[in-house]
Chains A and B, each alone.
Chain A
Amino acid sequence: MLEYGSKRILIVDDFTDFRSSLKSMLRDMGARDVDTADRGEEALSMCRNKRYDIILHDYNLGGGKNGQQVLEELIAGKLISHQCIFVMVTAESSQAMVLSALEHEPDAYLTKPFNRASLDQRLDKLVERKTALKGILQGLDKQDPAAVLEACKTLSQQDKRYLPLCQRYQATALRELGRLDELEQLLNGVLAERPLPWAQVALAGLMHKRGELSRAQSLYEKGLQLFPMMPALYDGLAAVLLAQGESQRAQQALEDAVKLAPLAIRRQMQLGKLALDNQDFDSAGKAYRQAMEQGRTSKFKSPENYLGLAQAITAQAGDGSLDKRLQIEVSQALGELDKIYAHDPNVQVRSRLALASSLNKSGEPKRAAQLAADAAAAMEKLPQLFAADTALSVASQLRALGQTAASDALLKSCVEVYGDDPQVMQGVARQTDNAEILSSGKEAVELNRQGVRCYQQKQFDEALRLFRQAFALQPKNISIALNTAQSLLQSASGEASAALLEECRRCLAVVSQMPETDARHARYLQLQRRASGQ
């Protein structure tokens, strides 16, 4: 038996009896510092104030967050070290839970009821393992993938028992370092030995990332033949199918995943969006309802679920009128949304428009018109730009509610900001044939395209000249501004010209309103750091 006197231990269970009997078992084992909690929320706040070495968490607490949600939030919020032992205590077979928890697995599952000997044996083993893995776990805590790789190499040569674990840590580290060829080699090696679920998912994901879609698809399908109950494989398959434009089959794959593991808010949200795009409003409504429900106890809640539900219900009524009961559901969902996101004016505008759209169908056109007018007025002073797809859907709502001028203005700004993206331009063209809007950015986009080509051919001076011209014509376009900024940094790096850096900062200031969900946001932040000399 190992020394537990110095360990900080937390028990989370909703049964008083169980907490006290587990606590007395731990005391018999020499533990002195044992705290208890009866809800996941309480456990999270305790972990904010104290670093625990061992957490024994019941999976199903009968309300609030479940064990898996707590574990995910502990990891996402860095509230526990990777060296902390997290044991999931379950009332029955853990298979279904295990299959759903591919991303953040607990260190062990312990099925109730268990005796003192089993607890002893399990904890001793986990302490031994965490001690052996210390170098790797410290690397993870420091977010230093290179150190993780180094530690893996040493440990797996020392003791072959840790090789399978090391390979998994290595795979994650290689992906983070962008060493994808080595990653592929590692995964192929692992899978040649044995079909391991995590490696199957990782290899398929890598193929998807590389754009080898049909290979990725067949890897996911092969994985599903071996492990038909693994939601992560369906998730991956859905993403690949969607990338290939097969949105119906993608939806089916996500529906399969949701059947296996309904408690996954992000999956439900994705399903809702996909079903909405597929005009399957019934399924969309179901998925968004689930996501909204689960979001109440989760850090992964999102305004999209409330807005999506309202949109699905309203769209389901078609050209007919909206049922009273459904109108109440929409109003309640949006009311809740307004309360949670009271500080977010972008959400407020979208909420008002969603409510107006539904009221328009339930015999209250006057209130609808008033709300639409309010929203149109509020739009003029929003602090942040809408993401492209949001902007398009808001513009279409405004148009349907008679706010044509506001809709046109939004489309115009959409072209200014996102005009280099052909998909966005197609979306705009579906809503208007106004040539003034549609052709406004063409020249700038063409200059930007030429600039990119020159930059790739390392003709930096010519590239900068083209980007500057494009920027002057279309100063709100995110791509053009970022390209100009990068090009200026490239030129400034030589003799560190202060004027060029100043110009670069002006370019970046223009795009500071870009939505944080934009894929280019990380690039923006990076350029900003470089421009300010950090």
Chain B
Amino acid sequence: MSDSPGGLDFSTVIASTVHDMKNSLAMLTRAHAQWQSQLPPEQQQASEQGVIEYEFARLNGMLVQLLGLYKLGVNQLPMRPGYHEVEDFLQAQLARHFEVLQSRQISARCEVESFDLMGFFDEELLGSVVANIITNSIRYAHSALLIRAWEEGGKLVLAICDDGQGYPQEMLSQQSNYVLGLKHSTGSTGLGLYFAGRIAELHERHGVHGHIELANGAPLGGGVFRIYLP
């Protein structure tokens, strides 16, 4: 992993820089929120606010993901699985994006097979995956976002669906090779999916690992991201 002659491990440099960037971004976000609250009401709703909030969330998501990938690389990503109420988990993810959804006039909701559906997963890791996918869907959605959850063949399935243009065809046909998306430089999608795939894989039961799937179409006609957890 050592890329520089001085014996300095480049990935460690990146990781500690990302850490600082995250703190810096948190300060920025807070200062901005404070400043915004002091503005007269008519200016608080300016369309730039939506852009700023969305990009703050996107940047934060990318940094969290980058740190996660680093920890995966050095095998230091702690797994702490537990039982969670799926509906509660998904509502919490949507709540995090409340302002952005509102300013972009996207109606978001979640549909859970039964109110008492339980899942077994690492809440924080899966939370960062779902948050990234939601952020991505918000970018492409026209007006609607739907998260569904159900059980299928002993696995919990979460599907994040939008009414946008859907995933490009080459991504659907080469799902096993997410890193390919990086080369085509279609935004951060490739890396995001790679991260999601790795987190899904970390979830294991009796030798069966989790995985992700991409599709287009129903129920909203746009992109559908599914994560399967054993």
* Chain A residues packing against B (C-beta within 8 Å): 17-18, 21, 91-96, 98-99, 112-118, 120-122, 125, 159-161, 163-164, 194-197, 226-230
Whether the Cβ atoms of B95 and A120 lie closer than 8 Å is yes
Whether the Cβ atoms of B124 and A95 lie closer than 8 Å is yes
Whether the Cβ atoms of A99 and B80 lie closer than 8 Å is yes
Whether the Cβ atoms of B78 and A21 lie closer than 8 Å is no
Whether the Cβ atoms of B82 and A196 lie closer than 8 Å is yes
With contacts A17-B30, A160-B118, A161-B118 taken as known, whether A197 is within 8 angstroms of B80 at the C-beta atoms is yes
Residue among A91, A93, A99, A164 with the highest chain B CB neighbour number at 10 A: A93
- Contact residues in A for B120 (Cβ distance below 8 Å): 194
Partner of A99, one of B78, B81, B95: B78
Whether the Cβ atoms of B205 and A113 lie closer than 8 Å is no
Whether the Cβ atoms of A229 and B22 lie closer than 8 Å is no
Could you show 27 A-B contacts with beta carbons less than 8 Å apart?
A: A17-B30, A17-B34, A18-B30, A21-B37, A91-B23, A93-B67, A95-B80, A98-B80, A99-B78, A99-B80, A113-B26, A113-B30, A115-B99, A117-B95, A117-B98, A117-B99, A118-B92, A120-B95, A121-B91, A121-B95, A122-B92, A159-B116, A160-B116, A194-B205, A196-B81, A197-B80, A226-B79
With contacts A115-B96, A121-B92, A164-B83 taken as known, whether A96 is within 8 angstroms of B118 at the C-beta atoms is no
Known: A117-B96, A121-B92. 9 other contacts (CB 8 A): A93-B124, A96-B78, A113-B30, A118-B98, A161-B118, A164-B82, A195-B81, A229-B76, A230-B78
Nearest B residue to A116 by beta-carbon distance? B98
> Considering the chains assembled together, what is the distance between the CA atoms of A116 and B79 in angstroms?
29
A369 to chain B, nearest CB (A): 54
- Contact residues in B for A226 (Cβ distance below 8 Å): 79
- Contact residues in B for A120 (Cβ distance below 8 Å): 95
With contacts A94-B124, A95-B80, A194-B205 taken as known, whether A112 is within 8 angstroms of B26 at the C-beta atoms is yes
- Contact residues in A for B118 (Cβ distance below 8 Å): 160-161, 164
- Contact residues in B for A96 (Cβ distance below 8 Å): 78
Instruction: List residues of B (166-216) whose CB comes within 8 Å of A's CBs.
Output: 205
Assess whether B9 is interfacial by the CB under 8 Å rule.
Answer: no
- Contact residues in B for A92 (Cβ distance below 8 Å): 22-23, 26
Partner of A161, one of B79, B80, B116: B116
- Contact residues in A for B30 (Cβ distance below 8 Å): 17-18, 112-113
- Contact residues in A for B82 (Cβ distance below 8 Å): 164, 196
10 smallest beta-carbon distances between A and B, as pairs: A117-B98, A229-B78, A164-B83, A117-B95, A121-B95, A118-B95, A161-B116, A95-B78, A113-B29, A125-B88
Nearest A residue to B22 by beta-carbon distance? A92
> Considering the chains assembled together, what is the distance between the CA atoms of A527 and B81 in angstroms?
45
Instruction: List residues of B (69-116) whose CB comes within 8 Å of A's CBs.
Output: 76, 78-83, 85, 88, 91-92, 95-96, 98-99, 116
Whether the Cβ atoms of B78 and A161 lie closer than 8 Å is no
Nearest B residue to A125 by beta-carbon distance? B88
> Considering the chains assembled together, what is the distance between the CA atoms of A91 and B23 in angstroms?
8
Tally of contacts, chain A with chain B, CB under 8 A: 78
- Contact residues in B for A98 (Cβ distance below 8 Å): 80, 124
B108 to chain A, nearest CB (A): 11
With contacts A94-B124, A194-B205 taken as known, whether A227 is within 8 angstroms of B116 at the C-beta atoms is no
- Contact residues in A for B85 (Cβ distance below 8 Å): 161
> Considering the chains assembled together, what is the distance between the CA atoms of A114 and B124 in angstroms?
15
- Contact residues in B for A196 (Cβ distance below 8 Å): 81-82
- Contact residues in B for A113 (Cβ distance below 8 Å): 26, 29-30, 33
B48 to chain A, nearest CB (A): 18
Q: Interface of chain A, helix or strand or loop or mixed? A: helix
Assess whether B64 is interfacial by the CB under 8 Å rule.
Answer: yes
A260 to chain B, nearest CB (A): 9
> Considering the chains assembled together, what is the distance between the CA atoms of A118 and B98 in angstroms?
8
- Contact residues in B for A121 (Cβ distance below 8 Å): 91-92, 95
A168 to chain B, nearest CB (A): 10
> Considering the chains assembled together, what is the distance between the CA atoms of A229 and B75 in angstroms?
10
- Contact residues in A for B83 (Cβ distance below 8 Å): 163-164, 194
Chain B 4-42 against A: per-residue CB contact (8 Å), 1 yes, 0 no?
000000000000000000110010011001100100000
Residue among B37, B80, B118, B120 with the highest chain A CB neighbour number at 10 A: B80
- Contact residues in A for B80 (Cβ distance below 8 Å): 95, 98-99, 197, 227, 230
Whether the Cβ atoms of B98 and A115 lie closer than 8 Å is yes
With contacts A91-B26, A93-B124, A98-B80 taken as known, whether A114 is within 8 angstroms of B33 at the C-beta atoms is no
Nearest A residue to B83 by beta-carbon distance? A164
B201 to chain A, nearest CB (A): 15
> Considering the chains assembled together, what is the distance between the CA atoms of A99 and B124 in angstroms?
12
Whether the Cβ atoms of A21 and B34 lie closer than 8 Å is yes
B110 to chain A, nearest CB (A): 12
> Considering the chains assembled together, what is the distance between the CA atoms of A121 and B90 in angstroms?
11
B177 to chain A, nearest CB (A): 29
Nearest B residue to A96 by beta-carbon distance? B78
A520 to chain B, nearest CB (A): 39
- Contact residues in B for A160 (Cβ distance below 8 Å): 116, 118
A68 to chain B, nearest CB (A): 16
> Considering the chains assembled together, what is the distance between the CA atoms of A122 and B96 in angstroms?
11
B88 to chain A, nearest CB (A): 5
Nearest A residue to B89 by beta-carbon distance? A125
Nearest B residue to A111 by beta-carbon distance? B124
Partner of A93, one of B29, B37, B64, B205: B64
> Considering the chains assembled together, what is the distance between the CA atoms of A149 and B78 in angstroms?
32
- Contact residues in B for A91 (Cβ distance below 8 Å): 23, 26
- Contact residues in A for B205 (Cβ distance below 8 Å): 194
B157 to chain A, nearest CB (A): 18
A348 to chain B, nearest CB (A): 45
- Contact residues in A for B78 (Cβ distance below 8 Å): 95-96, 99, 227-230
- Contact residues in A for B33 (Cβ distance below 8 Å): 21, 113
> Considering the chains assembled together, what is the distance between the CA atoms of A201 and B186 in angstroms?
45
Nearest A residue to B30 by beta-carbon distance? A113
> Considering the chains assembled together, what is the distance between the CA atoms of A115 and B214 in angstroms?
30
B56 to chain A, nearest CB (A): 9
A188 to chain B, nearest CB (A): 16
- Contact residues in A for B79 (Cβ distance below 8 Å): 226-227
B95 to chain A, nearest CB (A): 4
- Contact residues in B for A159 (Cβ distance below 8 Å): 116
A131 to chain B, nearest CB (A): 14
- Contact residues in A for B91 (Cβ distance below 8 Å): 121, 125
> Considering the chains assembled together, what is the distance between the CA atoms of A228 and B79 in angstroms?
9
